[in-house]
Amino acid sequence: MKYTGSCHCGRIAFEAEGELEKVTACNCSICRRKGTLMWFVPRTSLKLLTPEHDMATYTFNKHVISHHFCPVCGIHPFGEGTVPNGGHMAAINVRCLDDVDIDSLPVSHFDGKSI
């Protein structure tokens, strides 16, 4: 299934394709503060609909995840990183997707604080 999403002001817009069956809540220092619910898809399943230079990016700790956010409205629609097997993944903030009933999705919890 194809989903559309964006930051609040629309400066960062994207499409993501896949089966949205569950989301992940992480308790690391940044995810806890942002309140994101993440849906992980291969990076090739995420298509940016706006220019990449419209995004700002933040990294911390081991600098392996690029946390993208809008420099205008401040919303974090997705992040990108590499999984241990070398594949490129996108962590989409499901709260930024259009027409998704977040309350109907099961939430798994990841202990990112301990990493």
Give the pLDDT mean for 6-35.
96
Residue spans of the domains in the chain: they are 2-110
Average pLDDT, the chain: 95
Kindly state the average pLDDT of the residues 25-47: 95
Torsion angle of the four alpha carbons 11, 17, 19, 21, in this order, in degrees rounded to the nearest 10 = -10
Rounded to whole angstroms, how far apart are CA atoms 51 and 58? Answer: 17
Residues in the chain: 115
CATH of domain 2-110: 2.170.150.70
Contacts of 16 (CB under 8 A, 6+ apart): 2, 3, 5, 39, 41, 45, 46, 47, 90, 92, 97
Average pLDDT over residues 37-55: 97
Q: Give per-residue pLDDT as tens, 56-109.
A: 999 988 788 899 999 999 999 999 999 888 899 999 999 999 999 999 999 999
Q: What is the dihedral of CA 51, 55, 60, 63, to 10 degrees?
A: 10
pLDDT of residue 48: 97
